Amino acid sequence: MSAETSGIACRPAALTLSDGVVLQSRLWHPNREGPWPALLMRQPYGNRIASTVTYAHPSWWASHGFLVVVQDVRGQGESEGSFGGFGQETADTSATHAWVRQLPECNGRLGVYGFSYQGLTQLTAAESAPPPDCTAPAMTGLDERRHWSCEGGAHWWHLGLGWGLQLAALQAQRRGDATAWLEIRRSLEENHYLRDGLSLLRRHDPDGMALRWLQSDPNNDQQWMVHRPPESWLQRPMLLIGGWWDPHLVGLLDLWHRSQVAGGQPSLHIGPATHLEWWPETQQLMLQFFQQHLQKRPLQEPKPNHQLWNITQHQWDAIPTPGTSGPASWGLRSHGLACIDPSEGALVADGEGEGSVVIVHDPWRPVPAIGGHLGITPGPADRMAVDQRSDVATFTSAPLVDELLLSGQPLLLLNAEADQPGFDLCISLSRLPADANSVEQLSTGIVRVRGEEALQPARRTVTLQPLHATLAKGDRLRISVAAAAWPAIGVNPGHDAVPCGAPSPEHRVVTLTLELTDSTLQLNPFDSGRLKLD
């Protein structure tokens, strides 16, 4: 049975897999003689939604001469089977591609699109599977640890719990368990999930991928899966779309590098976007890509192959060549008052670190995470109020005498030890504009230390979110150091007997000492091959 709206026909379609499981899809195409090149999205949230939180409705794509296929993955939506997460997709993706190509509405050409989970399903397939004609993965990655659930040895807390509970609610809905669905929904609405989320996952989705991640050790390589796309797939035309405030940005850059190493020529566009809020021009960017590679249409207004949105200048730039991003390093200096006086700590270009600072972390009032790529409200943020807390050490440069471009991935190397066997270093890099009384957060990062290692003085390395921003003459640069970023990450309890998470009576006050000698802020350029992507 088909339906028609504004010249677009829509119908359901089913694929029976070799093990008997039936995967359900919806198809949209022009209501005129075909066939057409196909655009395929494989997703776990219901094919009627079709990722319209970020993408134009399938009828829009169909109106431009495509057959659009949106499929519910195994165990989700209307499809049969049990949902097993990313690991199930290799065989199902290969079978789905073969099925789409032989649909009567398809002319044999196939492109794939989608973001997040739908981005990864574009890349998992049997090594021998024929590649699609082109791919457009957005805001995704291949490493279940570094690109999906952890950073610096710490689990993403509110993101991991929130997404896991969304999937658990979908499973409860499939089972007809309204009580479980309402309990999960209420916990999210009332923010109880930050404390109760793990127990809800254990009760309502004990075999789910999200719970497995949260129960895995971020420092144990053997517990984590890294997916490997067939090399031939990485060589096909690829459009990569990312956002500066998206948690999967490092994963997208990893795909960019992998495709280049495989001999591909991927197109990279990183814009002013969070995971769910994109810049409007992305639809036209993707449409032009699919028209070029699936319809063989000449480009009317060609876009640069690579574009980076300048966070501060609000314009598109090319990827700069290495060596054009200003000083090679900055040193941190303080005479001990960087937590009390925001103007006392110094960030010195091409200078040596000097002095020390003591930070007292009280788990009763953990430093909050604001904005960035892991915050509850991601995106740009003014952290002036946070930087004025006495448990945040700030190090600020003198006003710049020249314009400064920061393009790449910041790394902070810092000597740190604690009086308890566990601490976190939560770092923010910010711009203090010359013409405004604000602290514009540009990038954040974390490293977690647990066990006896925390008691020993050692140089710690914190990898921050990549960025591309220009500081104007007279602006100042700032590094902020805290021992918490709640609830972006769970609070470190200061010992191994209690898991990281919501503050509890067992969480200890931690005194953290920063020895600033040899402290260094560095920047790895995008094209240098030195980005930390896994």
| Same-domain check for residues 288 and 389 | no
Is 32 contained in some domain? Answer: yes
| Same-domain check for residues 61 and 17 | yes
| Same-domain check for residues 9 and 87 | yes
Is 18 contained in some domain? Answer: yes
3-state DSSP assignment of residue 155: strand
| Same-domain check for residues 390 and 476 | yes
Other CB atoms within 10 A of residue 470 CB = 19
**CATH number of the domain that 345 lies in?**
2.60.120.260
CB–CB of 21/31 below 8 Å?
no
Is 530 contained in some domain? Answer: no
Q: What angle do CA 340, 345, 348 make, to 5 degrees?
A: 170
CA–CA separation, 322 and 330 (whole Å):
17
Is 445 contained in some domain? Answer: yes
Query: Quick one: which of 473, 479, 519 has its CA closest to 345?
Result: 479
Domains: count for the chain: 3
Is 43 contained in some domain? Answer: yes
| Same-domain check for residues 69 and 191 | no
CA–CA separation, 75 and 205 (whole Å):
13
| Same-domain check for residues 178 and 285 | no
| Same-domain check for residues 404 and 511 | yes
Is 315 contained in some domain? Answer: no
Given the structure tokens 């600020």, which residue do they identify? 396
CB–CB of 37/100 below 8 Å?
no
CA–CA separation, 26 and 47 (whole Å):
7
Radius of gyration for the chain, computed over Cα atoms and rounded to the nearest angstrom: 24
Is 274 contained in some domain? Answer: yes
- pLDDT, tens digit, 9 for 90 and up, residues 297-347: 887 777 788 999 999 999 999 998 876 656 679 999 999 999 999 999 999
| Same-domain check for residues 278 and 372 | no
| Same-domain check for residues 278 and 397 | no
| Same-domain check for residues 188 and 130 | no
Other CB atoms within 10 A of residue 173 CB = 14
CA–CA separation, 520 and 514 (whole Å):
12
Is 313 contained in some domain? Answer: no
Domain containing 191 equals: 150-223
CA–CA separation, 332 and 416 (whole Å):
13
| Same-domain check for residues 404 and 496 | yes
CA–CA separation, 116 and 276 (whole Å):
10
| Same-domain check for residues 241 and 348 | no
Domain final residue, candidates 175, 194, 223: 223
- HSE-CB for 368 with a 13 A CA cutoff: 13
Q: What is the pTM for the complete model shown?
A: 0.96
pLDDT in tens, the chain (534 residues): 345 557 999 999 999 999 999 999 999 999 988 899 999 999 999 999 999 999 999 999 999 999 999 999 999 999 999 999 999 999 999 999 999 999 999 999 999 999 999 999 999 998 899 999 999 999 999 999 999 999 999 999 999 999 999 999 999 999 999 999 999 999 999 999 999 999 999 999 999 999 999 999 999 999 999 999 999 999 999 999 999 999 999 999 999 999 999 999 999 999 999 999 999 999 999 999 999 999 988 877 777 889 999 999 999 999 988 766 566 799 999 999 999 999 999 999 999 999 999 999 999 999 999 999 999 999 999 999 999 999 999 999 999 999 999 999 999 999 999 999 999 999 999 999 999 999 999 999 999 999 999 999 999 999 999 999 999 999 999 999 999 999 999 999 999 999 999 999 999 999 999 999 999 999 999 876 678 877
CA–CA separation, 336 and 85 (whole Å):
49
Element (H, E) at 525: none
